[in-house]
Amino acid sequence: MPSAMSTSRASATQPAAPGPGAVPEAAEAPALEIRGLAKTYQRKGSAEKVEALKGIDLEVREGEFYGLLGPNGAGKSTCIGIVTTLVRKSAGKVRVFGVDLDTDPTALKRLIGLVPQEMNFNQFEKPLQIVAQQAGYYGIPWKLAKDRALECLDLMGLLGKKDQVSRSLSGGMKRRLMIARALVHQPRLLILDEPTAGVDIELRRATWELLEKVNRQGTTIILTTHYLEEAEALCRRIAIIDHGLIVENTDTRTLLAKLATETFVLDLATSVAEAPRLDGFRCRLRSDGSLEVDVERGQTLNALFDQLGGRGHQVVSMRNKANRLEELFVRMTEESRRAAGGQDDTAPPLAEGASEGDSPS
């Protein structure tokens, strides 16, 4: 983030006489603390009730980059909606940096920046106006609001588009505009609900770098995403939510260690007519001439390469067949579904765009 923003953010955490948009410091409190959070919706036009959240507990520590994963309809957006006050909870407690949602929602709102899943800005307004207005809603006077808006637009690479009607921006630019808008009041907790949906891979990577930068500067980030490689690349801790319950909540490394088998795709220097027989490894020949090898937990890649080398095969490149987290995610949500009695009213949990062989190792 530009130095000016960093400076004013630092001053915003001073306990005495906080400036516009500043928030109080609550020492040692988690960035987000959720206890027994439940939400029951009444289905329109019927007496039927739907439990979107069934009493979940969650804790996100300050400074974390936290992933909230789940299939469509799992309860992720409801959870975010409650934290950001857009959805009213049925039961439970929500605290952000120690500020209780029930007792002081206004103070809680000052601490959060939200990048929603859907485009929710006025398409007829210009980026500078949209971002500066958002700062104004947080009590930042107009001149300072405009300065901060320009900084945030610059950070997102949108400075050249500041006076262009936002409707004419590309999809990726619109997503970045929403991130700029969420950052303008310098929130301590940034919540992103699928921020890179529909964004091309180059722009997605650029957004990742940017979010990591924001996180390094002290902003706690909660990310929901369908791109599981995104969660694996960015998030240090991950919760998987399904059918309104948290089915897993741990650090990414521990989560990935639960994966019993990984499948790798190996490209060989010279093509082979059939898959070689390898001791201890299941190996298959793919239609493009590459090999697909299952590696169990405890087996090493060195052992695999030794065997291939011994048979005269040179490996020129390798990659995961599927994203590792995706394999775990599918397994866990399937287990959760079985535990819920086999009900399945959600879309398949596979990541959009994460097709076979597309995920880099």
Q: Name the site residues for other proteins (rule: CB under 8 A).
A: 20, 41, 78, 81, 84-88, 103-107, 109-110, 112, 114, 116, 118-124, 129, 133-134, 136-142, 145, 181, 185
Supply the minimum distance, in Å, between the C-beta of residue 93 and other proteins.
16
Which helix or strand (DSSP H or E) is residue 189 part of?
A: strand 189-193
Among residues 52 and 328, whose Cβ is nearest to other proteins? 52
Q: 141 — phi, psi (to 5°)? A: -55, 155
Among residues 56 and 145, whose Cβ is nearest to other proteins? 145
Choose among 331, 327, 350: nearest CA to 339.
331
Distance, CA of 52 to CA of 126 (rounded, Å) = 36
β-pair type (261-268, 291-296): antiparallel
Distance, CA of 237 to CA of 68 (rounded, Å) = 9
Distance, CA of 21 to CA of 158 (rounded, Å) = 23
- Both tokens of 322, joined, read 């599927």
* Chain Cα centroid distance, residue 305: 35
| Contact yes or no for 188/111 (Cβ under 8 A) | yes
- Both tokens of 149, joined, read 């808006």
Among residues 188 and 204, whose Cβ is nearest to other proteins? 188
In DSSP notation, 111-163 reads HEEEE-SS--S-TTS-HHHHHHHHHHHTT--HHHHHHHHHHHHHHTT-GGGTT
DSSP state of 78: H
Among residues 17 and 273, whose Cβ is nearest to other proteins? 17
Supply the minimum distance, in Å, between the C-beta of residue 276 and other proteins.
56
Supply the minimum distance, in Å, between the C-beta of residue 15 and other proteins.
14
Choose among 227, 224, 229: nearest CA to 239.
224
Among residues 145 and 238, whose Cβ is nearest to other proteins? 145
Among residues 103 and 302, whose Cβ is nearest to other proteins? 103
Among residues 79 and 238, whose Cβ is nearest to other proteins? 79
Supply the minimum distance, in Å, between the C-beta of residue 221 and other proteins.
16
Supply the minimum distance, in Å, between the C-beta of residue 123 and other proteins.
7
